[in-house]
Amino acid sequence: MALMINDDCTACDACRPVCPNEAISAGDLIYVIDPLRCTECVGAEDEPQCKLVCPADCIVQHPDFVESPEELQAKYESLHA
């Protein structure tokens, strides 16, 4: 599954630089994750780096983007080909 940032985001910018897919950007009020670029760090790290560094604990599973680990790996490979 792709991740998303909920309204508890404080826009601290801790998550953006650790994303290996450049899927995180500043939105109007909070940061946003592009679900077409998010692989939950599959292919790059053992766990989502954004969740590890988020002080607000506001990064959660995106309910509309359910993907298997194999699909996430394929997405990562297509982004970094």
In the chain, where the domains are located: 3-79
pTM of the model: 0.93
Instruction: Give domain 3-79's CATH architecture.
Output: 2-Layer Sandwich (3.30)
Q: Give the percent of the chain with pLDDT over 90.
A: 96
Is 19 a residue whose pLDDT tops 90?
A: yes
What average pLDDT does the segment 3-23 reach?
A: 98
Please compute the mean of the pLDDT values over residues 55-69 and round it to a whole number.
Answer: 95
What is the sign, positive or negative, of the torsion defined by CA atoms of 52, 11, 39, 21? Answer: negative
If pLDDT is split at 50, 70 and 90, which confidence band does 73 have?
very high
Give the burial class of 40: count Cβ atoms within 10 A of its Cβ; 0-12 exposed, 13-18 middle, 19 or more buried: buried
- Give the closest residue to 26 by CA, choosing from 39, 16, 40: 16
- CB count, 10 Å around CB of 8? 12
